[in-house]
């Protein structure tokens, strides 16, 4: 059963974090709006500062890098931008030339590259566009309708063949990767950083790579972090962690089972590793920051951070840092908990406040899992409000935090400057390597700024690149709008607090709650196993069911089968005469009963069927979805339809049941497939005789009991 328990004891501050996990968005924003608000004189000053930053940044655009210009020209609001992103994240990982050629053909041949010609003054952009245009036409010559120069160049490139095209596209994609990667190894990154350090920047190095899948992966990443800390430490010029370069650590890279389901093991095995890295960083007077990841890993990361932070070997070292994502509804409450942790151990935390990079995945996973809300805000302006509120909390506790503000938004920068200047508070800004540095070039001489610098080979770039392009390449991102001269400055530096406060409905109207994503029928509700409160409730419920007496149902005799068949045959006629609506209502009632019985059904599935908790949860939800989807489909397809015809004549198309249906279940999905086929037969007006798998009769018995309780006559379902 559920043997894992939350790794740290419940406290009021941790309970507050848990309660805010998927808090109602309006409630959460109403708490944050007062914290994020400014007085009218402050707003005037912020607006003026932000406007000046935007104007100077747009002027700087004339000197922007060629790749910056290319990314802006082909943003993710266009088919061409999506094609470039697909190429960038996949092409460098394809091992053979034949597959490369097919992939290039697929991504380049259908996009409308011609529309981008001459829309930008940069020679590089137009040259790149011509290359992509011609490449597409070589791979899709039937699409070519151009004459004169285009046709001539197309024929020329066609004669040269793919041998020329493939290296060209590869070079473009490598250049795109270099835009976001500081160096292929830490030595190259440190060398490349020197000119920017001379300008006043410092760096936080991140070893590229996603979550470890195996123990070997974790060993590889641990060795990479160890070597990086050694190299960075050797290059450090002071004994002040604030002034020295730093390193960012991704906890999922250090353990192959970094997941709430394995939290006891992760705490036992990962904490000593992280502590060793922290001790190494302390030795060289570096700071080390725990990177933020997906929302379901936050609680576990807090537990690990607390244990390492409290270790006596790190006393009097203020270099351990944590990242808080302001798009999470829990962000402000996490800061409260971290402030308490800092106070208890009498040392500061380096806290990097960012907007967040997993928004698309958080929305999708919440919908797939049928959870009771989203862990993140659904509007970009709401995230900006949360960022400002969290910034004010950080700056209010200088004894607890060294604030690090990661943003590329000119309004956010201006607001932070407004909060800090009267009090001369210690803080720094942070930006991503290759994204939006023109903004910080304007202020780095007066304000500390640290560049987040990924290090690794192009093959390791995939996950990071996709997040960066989704985050900053979308047409709603500040960076993209900043570079677009057609958008008025006043529009992109508008006060997010005023925008959110003026909305009659705070959540985004086009992002329904997970339960409502299907529109015509309700999504089955899941259980958030990463939520401490929901986890403990489920654990208690399943343990109670597990204490019940269990038995094995007897085998039906031949005489009982004959009797069931005769009874079902008689009952089928009256069941078939019921209206489709009446049968659909019974299925929807069954869905509600299955939902209520979820803990019990999960317990039986794990004990009798040997399923994991997650698999059993998914199977119960699938059963509920069958009930509601088949009810919806029956209303759509089975209702009689009156057809047109001559006067005085009625023509009607109607579907009729077949009689008695035998439903035989497999053992591997003993609830969902067992129930799904029964529901399909029942809602179409048939009687059913069901045979469960020999290995899993108990779950079948419980499913039939629930269907009878919902209103299906026992004579109809045996």
Confidence of residue 66 (pLDDT cuts 50, 70, 90): low
pLDDT of residue 634: 96
Q: What is the mean pLDDT of residues 365-383?
A: 97
Query: Domain check: are 493 and 601 in the same one?
Result: no
For tokens 């997010």, name the residue. Answer: 496
Q: How far is residue 598's CA from residue 616's CA, in Å, rounded to a whole number?
A: 9
Q: Tell me the pLDDT tens digit for each residue of 183-217.
A: 889 999 999 999 999 999 999 999 987 789 999 99
**Within this chain, do residues 580 and 623 fall inside the same structural domain, yes or no?**
yes
Please report whether residue 5 resides in a domain.
Answer: no
717: in domain: no
pLDDT score of 165 more than 60: no
Statement: residue 617 has pLDDT above 80: yes
* Nearest CA among 505, 512, 501, 508 for reference residue 32: 501
Q: Exposed (0-12), middle (13-18) or buried (19+): which is 263, by Cβ within 10 Å?
A: buried
Report in angstroms the alpha-carbon separations of 85 from 58, 65, 77, 164, 266.
24, 18, 12, 21, 34
- CA-nearest of 180, 196, 510 to 357 is 180
* The pLDDT of residue 146 is above 50: no
| Residue 407 maps to a domain | yes
- Residue 368 belongs to domain spanning: 12-63+181-516
Any domain includes 326: yes
Looking at the fold, whether 157 and 252 belong to one and the same domain comes out as no
Residues 195 and 261 in one domain: yes
The fraction of the chain above a pLDDT of 90, given in percent, is 66
Mark whether 38 and 70 lie in a shared domain. Answer: no
Distance separating alpha carbons of residues 520 and 481, to the nearest angstrom:
36
Highest mean pLDDT among 17-26, 452-461, 475-484: 17-26
- CA–CA separation, 436 vs 433, rounded Å? 8
Residue whose entry in the numeric block shows the structure tokens 């999960």: 602
Do 544 and 647 share a domain, yes or no? yes
Mark whether 332 and 195 lie in a shared domain. yes
CATH number for position 194: 3.20.20.220
In a shared domain, residues 576 and 675: yes
Predicted confidence at residue 295, as pLDDT, reads 96
Per-residue pLDDT of 572-603, as tens digits, reads: 999 999 999 999 999 999 999 999 999 999 99
User: Mean pLDDT over residues 482-501, rounded?
Assistant: 87
Residue 139 has pLDDT above 50, yes or no: no
Q: Is residue 411 part of a domain?
A: yes
Average pLDDT, integer, range 154-164: 47
Chain-centre distance of CA 635, in angstroms?
35
- Whether residue 26 lies inside any domain: the answer is yes
Cα distance between residue 137 and residue 146, in whole Å:
10
Domain shared by 537 and 494, yes or no: no
Query: In the chain, how many domains are there?
Result: 3
CA distance 164 to 144: 19
Same domain, 216 and 261: yes
Note the pLDDT tens digit of each residue in 660-717.
999 999 989 999 999 999 999 999 999 999 999 999 999 999 999 999 999 999 999 9
Task: Give the mean pLDDT of 608-617.
Answer: 95
CA 534 to chain centre: 21
Q: Are residues 459 and 483 in the same domain?
A: yes
pLDDT of residue 424: 80
In a domain, 716, yes or no: no
Of the candidates 410, 394, 366, the residue with the CA atom closest to the CA atom of residue 511:
366
């Amino acid at each position: 059963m559920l043997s894992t328990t939350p790794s740290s004891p419940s406290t009021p501050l941790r309970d507050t974090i848990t309660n805010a996990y998927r808090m109602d968005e309006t409630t959460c924003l109403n708490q944050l709006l007062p914290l994020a608000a400014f007085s009218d004189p402050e707003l005037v000053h912020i607006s003026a500062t932000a406007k000046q930053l935007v104007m100077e940044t747009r002027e700087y655009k004339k000197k922007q890098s060629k790749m910056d210009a290319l990314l802006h020209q082909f943003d993710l609001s266009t088919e061409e931008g999506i094609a470039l992103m697909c190429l960038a994240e996949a092409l460098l990982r394809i091992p053979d030339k034949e597959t490369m050629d097919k992939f290039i053909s697929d991504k380049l041949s259908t996009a409308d590259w011609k529309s981008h010609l001459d829309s930008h003054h940069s020679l590089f952009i137009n040259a790149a566009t011509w290359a992509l245009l011609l490449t597409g036409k070589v791979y899709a010559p039937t699409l070519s309708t151009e004459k004169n120069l285009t046709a001539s160049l197309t024929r020329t490139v066609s004669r040269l063949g793919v041998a020329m095209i493939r290296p060209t596209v590869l070079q473009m994609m490598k250049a795109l990767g270099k835009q976001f990667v500081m160096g292929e190894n830490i030595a190259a990154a440190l060398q490349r950083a020197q000119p920017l350090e001379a300008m006043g920047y410092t760096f936080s190095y991140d070893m590229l790579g996603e979550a470890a899948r195996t123990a070997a992966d974790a060993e590889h990443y641990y060795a990479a972090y160890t070597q990086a800390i050694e190299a960075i430490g050797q290059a450090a010029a002071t004994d002040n962690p604030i002034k020295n370069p730093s390193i960012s650590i991704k906890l999922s890279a250090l353990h192959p089972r970094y997941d709430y389901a394995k939290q006891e093991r992760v705490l036992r095995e990962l904490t000593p590793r992280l502590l060793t890295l922290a001790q190494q960083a302390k030795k060289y007077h570096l700071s080390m920051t725990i990177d933020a990841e997906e929302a379901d890993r936050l609680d576990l990361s807090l537990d690990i951070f607390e244990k390492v932070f409290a270790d006596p070997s790190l006393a009097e070292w203020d270099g351990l840092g944590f990242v808080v994502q302001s798009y999470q509804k829990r962000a402000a409450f996490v800061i409260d908990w971290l402030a308490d942790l800092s106070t208890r151990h009498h040392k500061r935390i380096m806290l990097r406040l960012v907007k967040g990079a997993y928004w698309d995945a958080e929305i999708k996973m919440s919908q797939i899992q049928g959870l009771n809300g989203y862990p993140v805000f659904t509007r970009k302006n709401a995230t900006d409000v949360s960022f400002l509120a969290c910034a004010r909390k950080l700056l209010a506790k200088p004894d607890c935090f060294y604030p690090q503000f990661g943003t590329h938004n000119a309004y956010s920068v201006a607001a932070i400057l407004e909060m800090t200047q009267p009090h001369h508070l210690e803080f720094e800004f942070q930006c991503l390597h290759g994204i939006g540095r023109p903004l910080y070039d304007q202020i780095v001489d007066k304000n500390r700024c640290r560049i987040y610098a990924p290090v690794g080979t192009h093959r390791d770039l995939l996950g990071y690149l996709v997040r960066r392009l989704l985050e900053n390449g979308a047409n709603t991102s500040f960076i993209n709008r900043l570079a677009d001269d057609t958008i008025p400055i006043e529009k992109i530096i508008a006060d997010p607090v005023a925008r959110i406060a003026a909305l009659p409905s705070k959540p985004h109207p086009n992002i329904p709650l997970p339960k409502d994503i299907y529109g015509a029928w309700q999504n089955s509700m899941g259980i958030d196993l990463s939520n401490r409160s929901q986890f403990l409730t489920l654990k208690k419920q399943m343990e109670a069911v597990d204490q019940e007496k269990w038995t094995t149902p007897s085998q039906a005799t031949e005489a009982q089968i004959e009797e069931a068949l005769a009874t079902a045959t008689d009952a089928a006629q009256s069941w078939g005469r019921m209206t489709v609506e009446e049968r659909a209502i019974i299925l929807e009632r069954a869905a509600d009963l299955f939902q209520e019985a979820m803990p019990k059904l999960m317990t039986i599935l794990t004990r009798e069927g040997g399923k994991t908790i997650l698999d059993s949860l998914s199977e119960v939800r699938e059963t509920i979805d069958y009930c509601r989807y088949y009810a919806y489909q029956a209303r759509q397809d089975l209702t009689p339809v009156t057809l047109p015809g001559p006067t005085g004549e009625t023509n009607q198309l109607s579907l009729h049941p077949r009689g008695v249906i035998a439903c035989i279940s497999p053992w591997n999905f003993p609830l969902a497939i067992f129930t799904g086929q029964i529901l399909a037969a029942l809602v179409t007006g048939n009687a059913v005789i069901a045979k469960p798998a020999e290995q899993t009769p108990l779950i079948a018995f419980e499913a039939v009991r629930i269907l009878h309780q919902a209103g299906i006559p026992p004579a109809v379902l045996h």
